[in-house]
Amino acid sequence: MPNTILKRLDIIKNAVAMEDDELIAMQVAKLQDLPLDAKVTQILALISTKRFQYVIQLIEQYKHDNSGVMVFQDPQIQGLKLELKLLENRLNELTDTQADLERQINEFNSEYMQRLGSLIEAILKKRAELLSDDPVEQQEAKQDYENFERSYQQQIKDAPQILTPKLQQQLKAAYRKASRLCHPDKLTDDFKTQGTEFFKALSEAYRHQDLPRVLEILHTLETGTTLSTVSDSISDKVILQSKIAALRLRITELEAAVIALQAIESYELIQLIDDKEAYFEQLKTQLEAEYECLVQELEQLKPKADEGVFYESHGSEVSQQDWEVYQAMHKEDDEDESYWQDEF
């Protein structure tokens, strides 16, 4: 820790010389996350009041007083740790992208089902009725209906909470902060199991836009035991090289997963729709028209019985009158047969 403080103070000293306000502010923010002694706190107080004339002198004095605590670090290990840190940043970026894509797709699919699911269900049911004379087509239509019914019910259960744009921004910020604290691919082996449990719960809550749950997980991570990351706690060259190789592989997998999500039809639709309300209204009108057509087709099949056509098989039609004669003949045959069967 002393090494880190001294290095950041040195950066601030150089930034003051270069008159780089942004770099100074960045290093101050990073120092404020560390345990500081009174002298460093005094230096930061001077920076906050823009009294830079004393800052460089105090930093030089602090470095001189604490030069004995500087610990030698292998330059190769420092390079490996920086490489690992950069890979962790890329992992964070891809994880955020994947989670947000999944959230958007789930939100769209849920709204689609809530608005149109019952209408689509009714259409599939009518199609099955219309194909009742063809066993194969009827079975296919029935299967389509059952598959949709299962998907419909599951999506209703999986529906996310409705959030305002402002709350969605709060949700994203809280998720990103929490995911950086518990991502299992960044943690040391001692904390990987615990991190996996946190990350799984966090991802599920984010997908359902459950802001209270995400905030609860973030609070637990911030106030509980710190989950140690490899880049901050490991200085073994072999372990660092192994972790870097594993992280590169994981990043490749995440990149493929992101591409696959972006290729899903629902996501492609999301990108094309400018006015979601107008899109759903237009689709609803089209589906209602299709439903009415199916109803009319079914109605057109009913009048045959009223027009005297009683039975239809293999392309031939039998009138009501012929069918009644046929039934009467069979009745007479049955009576004759029962006569010979009676016991005398």
Name the domain boundary from 21, 53, 71: 71
Q: 114 and 44 share a domain?
A: no
- 250 pLDDT band, cuts 50/70/90, is very high
Dmax over Cα atoms in the chain, in whole Å? 134
43-77 exposure pattern, b = at least 16 Cβ within 10 A, e = fewer: bbeebeeeeeeebeebbeebeeebeeeeeeeeeee
The model's pTM: 0.65
Q: Which of 59-68, 92-101, 183-192, 250-259 has the lowest mean pLDDT?
A: 59-68
- Residue that the structure tokens 């629902």 belong to: 266
Segment 288-314, tens digit of pLDDT: 999 999 999 888 877 554 444 444 444
pLDDT value of position 103: 93
Count of alpha carbons within 13 angstroms of residue 40, beta-carbon side? 23
Name the domain boundary from 15, 48, 71: 71
Cα dihedral 114, 120, 126, 130, rounded to 10, equals: -170
Q: 156 and 186 share a domain?
A: yes
> Looking at the domain assignment, is residue 274 inside a domain?
no
Segment 173-224, tens digit of pLDDT: 999 999 999 999 998 888 899 999 999 999 999 999 999 999 999 999 988 8
Q: 52 and 147 share a domain?
A: no
- Residue that the structure tokens 């049955």 belong to: 334
pLDDT value of position 314: 40
Residue 94: is its pLDDT beyond 50?
yes
- 344 pLDDT band, cuts 50/70/90, is very low
Q: Are 186 and 229 in contact (CB under 8 A)?
A: yes
Domain that holds residue 33: 2-71
The residue-averaged pLDDT of 80-104 equals 92
> Looking at the domain assignment, is residue 219 inside a domain?
yes
Q: Kindly report the CA angle at 186 between 180 and 191, in degrees rounded to 5?
A: 95
Number of domains in the chain: 3
